[in-house]
Amino acid sequence: MPDNKSRKLSDLRALLEGFGAACAARRAEADPGSMAGLRVAMAQIIRAVRLRRSEGYREADMRLHEAIMEMAGVPGLMGAWRSVWEAFEKFYQPGFGLDVVDRGTYVFDHEYMVETIKLGDPVAAEEAARNHVEATWVRLSAPPRKPGGGGYGAGPRYLALAVRHMAAHLQYPLRLGEVAAKVAFTSPRHLSRLFRRQHGMGFKDYLQKLRMAKAAELLAGTRLPVGTVARRAGYHDLSLFAQHFARHHGLPPRAWRKEKRADA
């Protein structure tokens, strides 16, 4: 299990990479040619995942984040980022030893970061980078399951772990059974009961609430296309996203965004 120092290092990494991504997005808007390094690193990540090369993925992952810091062009930023990355590497190392096929879903995180930078949207780029670091922390800091495990996830702490995992992974399919077994270490029925007791709604409704809140945040604060917002919130069916958003917020996504901008 990581200690409090590792948590602080993760927060510092998120701060540095969020700032770097925002600066990189401003540069991409002014100079689209500056994206070359990110495209090369992204291609290396995809290739490593496809070939299931764990070491290749690790190198490509570092290279992409390094390329973002370089692209930011802020004096001293690269040195600070490298210091944090190296200090945190011992914590990350075990996670990079996992089967690379499990990391295939994380390609989306990197692609999304690159897309937000390419679009020249600093707010979206910062959000993408910070969430990526948080998702990595959540995945690698998950407590190991105890042998035998009966009732291990019965307490509020494991409900909190489930909520933290969901908030950091909204862009992926999230199913009650998998979250219960792999994150909260309890039965789906018991986890659903914990959600109702603590939040007044079941797992599915709480997840949709998180997705709609994230979608509203991105629609109001970024220039991301509605389709990209939908994918970031976990929807690959744009019509279903629009239907759920209108039910939750009273207006379809584009109309809601237009109204918020008019109010602003």
Task: Out of 17-26, 81-90, 122-131, 187-196, pick the least confident.
Answer: 81-90
Banded model confidence at residue 101, pLDDT cuts 50, 70, 90: very low
C-alpha to C-alpha distance for 62 and 91, rounded to whole angstroms: 15
Cα 23 vs. chain centroid, distance in angstroms? 19
Q: Alpha helix (H) ranges present in the chain? A: 4-30, 36-51, 54-72, 77-96, 107-118, 122-141, 156-168, 176-179, 188-199, 203-221, 226-232, 238-249, 253-263
Domain ranges for the chain:
4-141, 144-200, 214-263
pLDDT tens for 5-21 read: 888 999 999 999 999 99
At residue 100, the pLDDT reads 45
C-alpha to C-alpha distance for 12 and 15, rounded to whole angstroms: 5
At residue 127, the pLDDT reads 96
pLDDT for 236 beyond 60? yes
C-alpha to C-alpha distance for 122 and 186, rounded to whole angstroms: 40
pLDDT for 148 beyond 50? no
Closest CA to 232 of 137, 140, 123: 123
The pTM of the full predicted model, rounded to 2 decimals, is: 0.87
Do domains 4-141 and 214-263 share one topology? The answer is no
| CATH class of the region 214-263 | mainly alpha
CATH superfamily of domain region 4-141: GntR ligand-binding domain-like (1.20.120.530)
At residue 154, the pLDDT reads 54
Banded model confidence at residue 2, pLDDT cuts 50, 70, 90: low
pLDDT tens for 151-210 read: 445 567 889 999 999 999 999 999 999 999 989 889 999 999 999 999 999 999 999 999
pLDDT for 150 beyond 90? no
